[in-house]
Structure 1
């Protein structure tokens, strides 16, 4: 039946594993509303069928509409968001900026975090007789150990400290006020991404983000995080089916580690 043919195409598209599917939900919902709108020349049975489909799918994903719109925006195939009004688009752009303007979950060790070098203490003192033997004049080290030479090397009890004190600065410079903030970088990336031409519907968005990971680092990281979410449970169910094909009555002695490796190879060989 021609009326149900679009539904079959939509179902098949959402069950694929090689390209993102979560970003397709909202564009498909908009397409369903257009395709399933009753026409004047439709028979009563067709009109009733289309109305039933629209009523069943119309209330789905209402609570996740904002998140699904952001995912669709991060898909370069649907980045123009033609199914949304202009005010809604601006809200999505703002939400994406806030989502990517978050520090990455790693810590960079600063110079100020480095533990100071150990100071050598309780060194044996040199007597006057020993000083005369090794050739140290009395003026170089006085009784109170406050000679000019001692003052100059007071901070150099450690050999590395003496070597590096005059070369390297251990302080941390304050951040420059001219450097852009993370929010400004996020806004610049979103505006740059909006000016890029959308790709064709049969192209892979993940490959596109791989090629643009250097020019759009914040967006690329966030896009790969959300685009990997499947729209259906079909991919996970296929894994169970693959496991059932591998572990059969003829291969019941396989160890669990071998089964995991065989499933991984089966799902990732292509």
Structure 2
């Protein structure tokens, strides 16, 4: 078989290679199954294959088995079988897999999804998850520290409250130095902070495919909310079985 393939590669043609119909079928079967081997190799070679890889791999395989580029009945039948098998897998985990992929800086653009609205919806769901994560953690102390870092002391300014409550005639001090006084911007809610972080995250360059995802997130010190959620997703393994069984 290798001799026959070598003959084709050298351009000797079908006649010189003496390919039979069975040989052609075998060649197309090998070509058809090649992406499965690549996917298995990827999960095996990755130091820590995480859940974020499943959705892109599944989309790639689904596209591959959807192409109608063969006239051989056996190949058409195999593709149909794979499509039916894929359609029933991971349905209940679809949101989880999409969120995991979105939080992986290597594939955060979600290019494997053709619908832009679906991509935006995924990040909207991630915003909601950030809120739920903070509610479950009851991390009010940490949030206050973050707010203090951004906006200073959270305690209301008694003098400012009195000024707002009832307008008073400007004193000589206000008339002299009023133009130098600054008004502190209102503190953002957790939802607003989460949206800001997601916007920054989506605008950043994607990590190269061989990059260390967890190390990348450690460096994103200005994305504390999103980073915490990402680490919880990226700690989930892509598979719990050995690579030989993937």
Alignment TM-score, normalising by the size of structure 1: 0.58
What's the offset of the Cα at 1:4? 1.2
Aligned residue pairs, count:
175
- Give the equivalent residue in structure 2 for 1:229: 236
**Contact 2:44–2:243 at 8 Å: present in 1 too?**
no
Mapping for residues 69-218 of structure 1, pairs under 5 Å: 69-84=98-113, 85-101=115-131, 102-103=133-134, 104-106=137-139, 108=141, 173-174=155-156, 178-212=186-220, 214-218=221-225
Query: Is the alpha carbon distance of 1:75 and 1:18 closer, same or farther for their aligned partners in structure 2, counting shifts above 3 Å?
Result: same
Greater Rg by CA: 1
What's the offset of the Cα at 1:72? 0.6
- Give the equivalent residue in structure 1 for 2:36: 7
**Contact 2:70–2:76 at 8 Å: present in 1 too?**
no
**Contact 2:130–2:226 at 8 Å: present in 1 too?**
yes
SS in structure 1 at match of 2:187: coil
Mapping for residues 246-265 of structure 1, pairs under 5 Å: none
Alignment partner for residue 58 of structure 1, among 79, 84, 87?
87
What's the offset of the Cα at 1:24? 1.2
What's the offset of the Cα at 1:178? 1.0
**Contact 1:79–1:194 at 8 Å: present in 2 too?**
yes
**Contact 1:17–1:235 at 8 Å: present in 2 too?**
no
- In structure 2, the gaps of 5 or more residues are 1-29, 143-153, 158-183
Higher helix share: 2
What's the offset of the Cα at 1:90? 1.8
C-alpha RMSD of matched pairs (Å): 2.8
Alignment TM-score, normalising by the size of structure 2: 0.63
Query: Is the alpha carbon distance of 1:19 and 1:227 closer, same or farther for their aligned partners in structure 2, counting shifts above 3 Å?
Result: same
**Contact 1:23–1:72 at 8 Å: present in 2 too?**
yes
